[in-house]
Amino acid sequence: MNAPASLAEHLADSHADLSVDAPSRASMTLPTPGELRSRLPVAPRVAERLSAQRRAIHDILCGRDDRMLVVVGPCSIHDPMAALEYAHRLAELAHKVDDRLLPVMRVYVEKPRTTVGWKGLAYDPDLDGSGDMARGLHLSRHLMHEVAALGLPVATEVLQPMLAAYLDDLLAWVAIGARTTESQLHRELASGLEAAVGFKNATSGEVGVAVDAIHAAAHPHRHFGLDEQGRPALRETSGNVHAHMVLRGGHHGPNYDSGSVRAAREALENAELPARLMVDCSHANARKDHRRQAEVLRDVVAQRAAGETSLMGLMLESHLEEGKQPLTPGALRYGVSVTDPCLGWQATEALLLEAAERLR
C-alpha cells in the first residue's frame, strides 16, 4: 500500500482528475467512503502514529497523563499549502513543549454558517461557489494524512454526519459545535468514533446540553447510517467514553472563569460523568476579539497551575498571519483566515511556550 503523493502534486492532479463539469454539478456522484479510502489509504506508519496519538489523548482525558491538550490551528482550512506550512511549524514547536502540552492541529474542512456563506474546503475547495465536493473530499483527506504523517494529531469539527465516514480513520479529536451538541444524530455518531469527542456548551452558555450529550455518546446505539460502499446500513456502536465538555462562552459572556469552571465540573460530577473540561479561548470567551484569546489562555493555565485539574485542555484559533480577510478569489493574502479572525503564528508560538513554562 503506497502513501499518498505530496500535497502539491495532489492539488495539481485533483484539478485534472476529480473536477466535474458545472452543468452536471447538481447531480454530482461522489465517491463512496470506501472508494476514497482505497484511493488515499492510510500508510502503515501513519496508522501506527494515529493509534499512539489517540492513546495519548485518552490518557490525558483519563488523568493518566498530566499534560494539557491544546487544539490549535486555523479557524477553517481554505488553502491546503498554507495549512501544511502551519503544520510543519506546529510540529517543530511540539518538540519544545511536549513535556507539558500535547498540541493537536485544527484541520477544519467544514464551517457552520448562521445563514449562508462559504461552507469549507470539503464543500467548495475553489472558493468560488462551484462546489466541487469530489475534489474537496480528496483534498481534505489528503491534507489530514499529511498532517498526521508529521506526527501531529488531527482535529476537526463534524457538521455533516455523512462526511465523517470519509475522514474518521485520520482523526484523533473531534468537536461537536454549540449548534449541534443537542443533535441526536451527532450524539449517535460520537458514540462510534475512536477519536475523543468534545461537546461544546450551547450558544446560550448553558452546559446541561453538553452533559446530556456526553452521557448519550458514552452509551451504545443502533442508528441509520451508510456502509463503506455508500449503501444504507444499520450502524451499531459501543459508546465513546472519551467524550468531554468544551466551554466556549455564551450570549451572556465568557464561562472560563473559576466560578464557571467549578459549576461545569459540579454539573459533570452530579451526572456521574468524568469531570474533564476544555476551554475554547475564542468565540464568546474572547468576546469575539481574537486577541483576547491570550488572556483566556493565561487565566486557564493559572487555574490549572493552582490545582484545578478538571481543566485538561485549551483551544485556540491561529493561522500563519493575524486577523481575517474577505473571501475574494484571486486576491487572497497567504496564511490569513477567510472565516473567523485568528492569532498570528508568532503570538501563538509565544503563548504556547509561555504556557508550557508556567506548567513546569
Query: For 244, which DSSP code?
Result: E
Confidence of residue 23 (pLDDT cuts 50, 70, 90): very low
Q: Please say whether the beta carbons of 2 and 100 come within 8 A.
A: no
**What local confidence, expressed as pLDDT, does residue 330 receive?**
83
Write the pLDDT tens digit of every residue in 75-103: 999 999 999 999 999 999 999 999 999 99
Write the pLDDT tens digit of every residue in 233-291: 999 999 999 999 999 999 999 999 999 999 999 999 999 999 999 999 999 999 999 99
Q: What is the sign, positive or negative, of the torsion defined by CA atoms of 138, 143, 149, 155? A: negative
Query: Could you write out the DSSP letters of every residue in 115-179?
Result: SSS---TTT-TTSSS---HHHHHHHHHHHHHHHHHTT--EEEE--SHHHHHHHGGG-SEEEE-TT
Give the span between the Cα atoms of 279 and 339, in whole angstroms: 20
Q: Break the chain into its structural domains and give their ranges.
A: 32-359
Confidence of residue 20 (pLDDT cuts 50, 70, 90): very low
**What local confidence, expressed as pLDDT, does residue 19 receive?**
44
Confidence of residue 228 (pLDDT cuts 50, 70, 90): confident
| Mean of pLDDT over the chain | 93
Give the span between the Cα atoms of 132 and 171, in whole angstroms: 23
Q: Which of 134, 135, 172, 167 is nearest to 155 (CA)?
A: 172
Residue 11 has pLDDT above 90, yes or no: no
More confident residue, 26 or 201: 201
Percent of the chain residues past pLDDT 90, beyond the cut:
87
* Lowest mean per-residue pLDDT among 20-29, 55-64, 241-250, 316-325: 20-29
More confident residue, 129 or 28: 129
**What local confidence, expressed as pLDDT, does residue 28 receive?**
79
Confidence of residue 344 (pLDDT cuts 50, 70, 90): very high
Give the span between the Cα atoms of 193 and 239, in whole angstroms: 8
**What local confidence, expressed as pLDDT, does residue 116 receive?**
86
**What local confidence, expressed as pLDDT, does residue 14 receive?**
58
**What local confidence, expressed as pLDDT, does residue 186 receive?**
97
Q: Please say whether the beta carbons of 236 and 225 come within 8 A.
A: no
- For residues 181-195, give the mean pLDDT: 97
Query: How remote is the C-alpha of 313 from its chain's centroid?
Result: 13
Instruction: Name the grid cell of 275.
Output: 469531570
> Which residues, 6 or more positions from 280, have their beta carbon under 8 angstroms from its beta carbon?
200, 246, 247, 248, 249, 315
| Partner residues linked to 223 by β-bridges | 235
**What local confidence, expressed as pLDDT, does residue 1 receive?**
43
Q: Which of 338, 212, 206, 348 is nearest to 268 (CA)?
A: 212
Q: Please say whether the beta carbons of 181 and 199 come within 8 A.
A: yes
Query: For 66, which DSSP code?
Result: -
Which one of 2.30.30.40, 3.40.50.300, 3.20.20.70, 3.40.50.1220 gives the CATH number of domain 32-359? 3.20.20.70
pTM score? 0.93
Confidence of residue 5 (pLDDT cuts 50, 70, 90): low
